[in-house]
Amino acid sequence: MKKVCLLAGSLSLLGLATLPARAVSTSEQLPVEAQSIEVEPVATEQDELLLADQSLSQTTSVSDLMTETKKDSVGQVTSVSQLSDVQPDGWAFQAIQSLVERYGCVAGYPDGTFRPSRAMSRREAAALVNACLDNLSNRFATKEDLDALKALQDEFAAELATLRGRVDGLEARVATVEAQQFSTTTKLQGEVVMAAQFGDFVSNSTDTVFDPANGTLNPGGADSRVSAISRVRLNFNTSFSGDDLLATQLEVGNNGGDFIGNALGAADHGPLNPGGAVLATDPVSGNPISLVDLGATDYSGIGNNVRLRRLAYSFKPGENLTVTVGTNIFPSDFVDFNSYANNSAQDFSSGFFINNPLIITNAVDFSGGAGAAFDWNPNAGAFSVRGVYVAAAGFSATDFTAVPGIGGGLGGDPHQGTVELEYANTFGADDQNNFAIRLQGTYAETFNVEQKVLGVNAEATFGNFGVFGRYGISFDPQVQNFVGTDGVDVFGSAAEVAAIPPTAAIATVGDSNTVQTWMAGVGYKDALVPGSLFAVAAGMPFLVTGTNSSNDQINLEAFYRFPVNDNITITPSVQYIINPIGTQNGLTAAGGNDNDIIQGLIRATFSF
């Protein structure tokens, strides 16, 4: 029935239904082979539409009709514009256009014409109608197709109903999320660190160390205890265009401390710290601070009041260039990255091992400050150039201390500026290995100590095995703006140090006014558990050239981090410090390495 209807419609389009012809008498039922149709000519303008050959007796099959028609036609045309003699103003233009472009069942002649005024034979009409019916039947489903589809619907009615219910539920949940979401532009990321530690002197039963050059460690001889440490950071990352980032970070802890921090953290100890607690006071927290990170646990000592730790806006003014400005940023956010030693929540816990203590000055990076940074990766290649400037007292419109030369504004002491040139690339089969080297330079003024530092940071990975290290050297550090005196060597001669009595707290007088630092380590990925990391490192936070090297502090740390799942890792670690702050061993009755410190720690990190 469907083809009959289509046939009638197609004949109407072709003008066959209106052709004037004399019908065969219905009373004479002749065989098809003997039937003939006589057509009387019709006057007026429709003469050219009459069929030229009206005899069926010459036709034996449809295939013969199609074969004969193909002899006079070319391949299928797809646009009426391909037929040069079909004009838009012709009365049959729309019908021809529909047959060509909509139904795809009209072909032209070899010379690219349609010859609309030429009479059409019956065989041509049959071939044309057949082509139209074939194309139409391919585009529309038959009754059998519809029956099969209904049978499938009946067979999987239960499954379809379940899917419909799930889709309805998802739509409801999406509507709820859209109505109650925190922000359409902000994503929340969090990190929680919880740890337990225990540390002590190796063989000093008095728990007190007095060193002629460095004073008293752990004054009062307080016994060591197991302590709990926690740190929570919540990051609100906001993007307004997709190429920018407004980073806001809140931080809070439990005031948890570790033994190394208690023993080494006093402000009147350590290198590059002239004048004691008066000069070396963190401008944000007001707590005493050493100018060099000596190795205390990085996430210890975080207060239990929520504070705004980071507020910075990053954008891209050009291709492969990112610029950041902020009121609360950190030098370590932009320079001195290392895949094995950079994140105290995931690798080494010691603050010394996660950053170069001369390139990243403790006085500035401890609480951060106001400043700006850039990261340029030309042509997205192997080279990158970075720079950062941070003023720890950038929030202050006036000097916040009575000590000359310290504090106040974006240019006030303490501040530092650092530039870094990195070359990073891959090598080996399938680029399974990689390496990076970073050359660094820092200029810093921290609590009246001026430093010019050069450093290098390198790492290489060979399959699962990796090596890494850092080195820094501070050339001729100077004490500035102190009691009207400028340009005094921090580690000068005894006469120079004695010239300014408050600077007697500086480390041992040296023959050369140069300070160095270094660390090196090895790591192994996927040790026992996929996603794990085992690493061990050794280094010296500060080494004053010309002093007794046998008393220089040496730090060691080893850890093994293994994942519990995608969001939780557990990390046991052990830290050992030889000659803490350069103190002399053997001063107590125990003798030997009585002043060395050992500390064990287990850390759990939750990321979400």
pLDDT at 320: 93
* C-alpha to C-alpha distance for 481 and 484, rounded to whole angstroms: 6
pLDDT band at 26 (very low <50, low <70, confident <90, very high): very low
Q: Where are the domains of the chain?
A: 2-140, 146-179, 182-607
Question: Quick one: which of 461, 590, 484 has its CA closest to 201?
Answer: 590
pLDDT at 139: 67
* C-alpha to C-alpha distance for 292 and 315, rounded to whole angstroms: 32
pLDDT at 130: 74
pLDDT at 496: 60
Q: Are strands 568-578 and 514-525 parallel, antiparallel or unpaired?
A: unpaired
Give per-residue pLDDT as tens, 98-147.
878 777 777 777 777 888 777 777 777 777 777 777 776 666 667 777 78
Backbone angles phi, psi at 76, to 5 degrees: -60, 135
Reported in sequence order, the residue ranges of 465-548 that DSSP labels E, i.e. its strands, are 465-475, 478-479, 488-489, 514-525, 533-544
Poorest-confidence range of 47-56, 61-70, 375-384? Answer: 47-56
pLDDT band at 307 (very low <50, low <70, confident <90, very high): very high
Give per-residue pLDDT as tens, 434-452.
999 999 999 998 877 889 9
Supply the mean pLDDT for the chain: 77
Mean pLDDT for 376-395 is 94
Radius of gyration of the chain (CA): 43
One DSSP character per residue, 431-468 reads G-EEEEEEEEEEEEEETTEEEEEEEEEEEEEETTEEEE
pLDDT at 568: 97
Better-scored residue on pLDDT, 425 or 118? 425
Give per-residue pLDDT as tens, 266-291.
433 344 444 333 345 555 555 556 66
Give the chain's count of helices (H) and strands (E). 10, 20
pLDDT at 358: 94
pLDDT band at 2 (very low <50, low <70, confident <90, very high): very low
Question: Quick one: which of 257, 273, 260, 258 has its CA closest to 214?
Answer: 273
Does 80 score more than 60 pLDDT? yes
Give per-residue pLDDT as tens, 498-521.
555 544 434 445 557 788 999 999
Q: How far is CA 510 from CA 123, 274, 475, 489, 507, in A?
A: 113, 15, 13, 10, 9
* C-alpha to C-alpha distance for 542 and 217, rounded to whole angstroms: 18
pLDDT band at 586 (very low <50, low <70, confident <90, very high): low
Poorest-confidence range of 202-206, 233-237, 303-307, 367-371? Answer: 202-206
The CB-side HSE value for 243 (13 A sphere, CA atoms) comes to 9
pLDDT at 297: 92
pLDDT at 20: 38
pLDDT band at 309 (very low <50, low <70, confident <90, very high): very high
Give per-residue pLDDT as tens, 89-98.
888 888 888 8
pLDDT band at 591 (very low <50, low <70, confident <90, very high): low
Own/partner long-range contacts of 5-11 (Cβ < 8 Å, ≥24 apart) = 6/132, 6/133, 6/136, 7/129, 7/133, 10/128, 10/129, 10/132, 10/133, 11/129
pLDDT at 587: 59
Better-scored residue on pLDDT, 415 or 56? 415
Q: Which of 11-25, 67-81, 135-149 has the highest mean pLDDT?
A: 135-149
pLDDT at 212: 56
Does 497 score more than 60 pLDDT? no
Does 31 score more than 60 pLDDT? no
Give per-residue pLDDT as tens, 555-583.
999 999 999 999 999 999 999 998 887 77
* C-alpha to C-alpha distance for 269 and 553, rounded to whole angstroms: 13
Better-scored residue on pLDDT, 528 or 9? 528
CATH superfamily of domain region 182-607: Porin (2.40.160.10)
pTM for this model (two decimals): 0.68
Residues of the chain above pLDDT 70, percent: 70
Which amino acid is it at 506? I
Better-scored residue on pLDDT, 485 or 173? 173
pLDDT at 480: 72
